[in-house]
């Protein structure tokens, strides 16, 4: 009996080791690669959107997936891609208000957050490979990029002007790399340092930790142990992951105050993304390099960076260096939200750039 118990124990340890190796290898390998969306690879629906409903506050991007939207202004359409990831804008941006006489800014909640469809509540499969694929198809980077292409068609625009903030800047960039012939101009506001993983400077998670007061660090490290546990989060519900994402944003806000700017409060914590945040991280893996894809972008590009942002200026400058026809502008006294911190200066910079492309 004793030998049998030891044998069973060894078998369980072996099974655990196999699962650990599986999760580790999966988390390292990116499921999204530039070009996937244009080629129709790893998509849950065609790139052509279905017929739209009469409810103008939602776009139907594929059967069963609706994206909440609102707009401000009139004139040339500009699509605003929010960041977070998973934290949608609920009000028009102050820094764009002076431009609403010439441009109509379309805001939308990305799939998996806000008032848009959340395609995953809780995974019920016991097939881990199937779980990874389910999350990637429903909420990975490729799914978000595909939605931008569908929105372009819904808006009836052959060439789209995109304004992406933070993680939304990364998504807008990858869309422009995949569909350069459909982008008229690209505005990147403090674009997220996601072009290369792992990041040479440690990335935002390490940057937040470095700025937190000593009495906050242990709580933050405890959160990160759960937040970045690729195997563990497969057991969570969307609501549980939403709570984790809100906790991270709380620590981010504290770090921002140390850096010298105020991160706007989340108006409704239930609107924050749950599965969609981890889904996008999972789809990129822990080792990727998307930098070469940026050479495909042909549209004029403006990269804006707030001087006090937790993310260093070099991260935003990298976008401007890698993308042809790109210019970089630093806004003094602003953090990651320069449209809130310095709205007049932000409006002038963006307005001058948009005027120059006509």
Closest CA to 107 of 86, 97, 93, 120: 93
Token pair, residue 5, equals 């118990």
What is the pLDDT, as a whole number, of residue 338?
Answer: 98
Token pair, residue 256, equals 């921002």
What is the pLDDT, as a whole number, of residue 200?
Answer: 83
What is the pLDDT, as a whole number, of residue 27?
Answer: 55
Of 3.40.50.10860, 3.40.50.1820, 3.20.20.20, 3.30.470.20, which CATH number belongs to 58-356?
A: 3.40.50.1820
Whether 309 and 190 have beta carbons less than 8 Å apart is answered as yes
Mean pLDDT per 10-residue segment, the chain (358 residues):
40 38 57 97 97 96 98 98 97 98 98 98 86 94 98 98 98 98 98 94 92 95 88 88 97 96 95 96 94 98 98 97 97 98 98 93
Q: What is the pTM of this model?
A: 0.92
What distance in Å separates the CA atoms of residue 48 and residue 154, rounded to the nearest whole number? 9
Closest CA to 108 of 54, 163, 64: 163
Angle, helices 141-155/275-284, rounded to nearest 10 degrees: 110
- Express each pLDDT in 71-92 by its tens digit: 999 999 999 999 999 999 999 9
What distance in Å separates the CA atoms of residue 221 and residue 205, rounded to the nearest whole number? 10
CB neighbourhood size of 17 (10 A): 10
Instruction: Note if the bond before 174 is cis, omega within 30 degrees.
Output: no
Instruction: Please state the separation of Cα 295 from the chain's center in Å.
Output: 21
What distance in Å separates the CA atoms of residue 150 and residue 61, rounded to the nearest whole number? 6
Phi, psi of 157 (to 5 degrees): -105, 125
What is the pLDDT, as a whole number, of residue 127?
Answer: 83
What distance in Å separates the CA atoms of residue 207 and residue 311, rounded to the nearest whole number? 7
């Amino acid at each position: 009996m004793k030998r049998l118990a030891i044998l069973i124990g060894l078998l369980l340890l072996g099974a655990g080791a196999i699962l650990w190796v599986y999760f580790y290898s999966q988390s390292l390998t990116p499921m999204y690669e530039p070009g996937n969306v244009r080629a129709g690879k790893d998509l849950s629906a065609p790139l052509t959107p279905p017929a739209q409903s009469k409810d103008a506050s939602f776009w139907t991007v594929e059967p069963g997936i609706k994206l909440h939207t609102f707009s401000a202004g009139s004139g040339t359409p500009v699509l605003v891609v929010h960041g977070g990831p998973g934290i949608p804008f609920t009000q028009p941006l102050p820094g764009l208000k002076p431009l609403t006489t010439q441009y109509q800014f379309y805001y939308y909640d990305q799939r998996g957050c806000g008032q848009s469809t959340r395609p995953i509540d809780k995974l019920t499969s016991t097939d881990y490979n199937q779980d990874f694929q389910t999350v990637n198809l429903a909420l990975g980077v490729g799914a978000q990029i595909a939605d931008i292409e569908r929105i372009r068609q819904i808006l009836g625009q052959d060439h789209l002007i995109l304004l992406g903030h933070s993680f939304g800047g990364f998504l807008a960039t990858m869309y422009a790399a995949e569909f350069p012939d459909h982008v008229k101009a690209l505005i990147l506001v403090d674009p997220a340092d996601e072009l290369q993983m792992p990041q040479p400077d440690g990335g935002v998670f390490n940057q937040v930790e470095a700025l937190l007061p000593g009495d906050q660090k242990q709580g933050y490290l405890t959160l990160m142990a759960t937040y970045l546990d690729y195997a563990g989060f497969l057991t969570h519900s969307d609501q549980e992951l939403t709570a984790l994402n809100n906790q991270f944003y709380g620590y981010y806000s504290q770090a921002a105050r140390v850096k010298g700017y105020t991160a706007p409060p989340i108006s409704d914590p239930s609107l924050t993304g749950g599965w969609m945040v981890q889904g996008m991280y999972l789809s990129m893996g822990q080792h990727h390099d998307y930098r070469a894809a940026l050479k495909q972008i042909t549209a004029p590009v403006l990269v804006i960076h707030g001087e006090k942002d937790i993310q260093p200026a070099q991260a935003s400058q990298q976008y401007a260096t890698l993308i042809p026809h790109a210019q970089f502008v630093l806004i003094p006294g602003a953090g990651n939200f320069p449209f809130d911190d310095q709205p007049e200066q932000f409006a002038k910079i963006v307005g001058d750039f948009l005027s120059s492309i006509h």
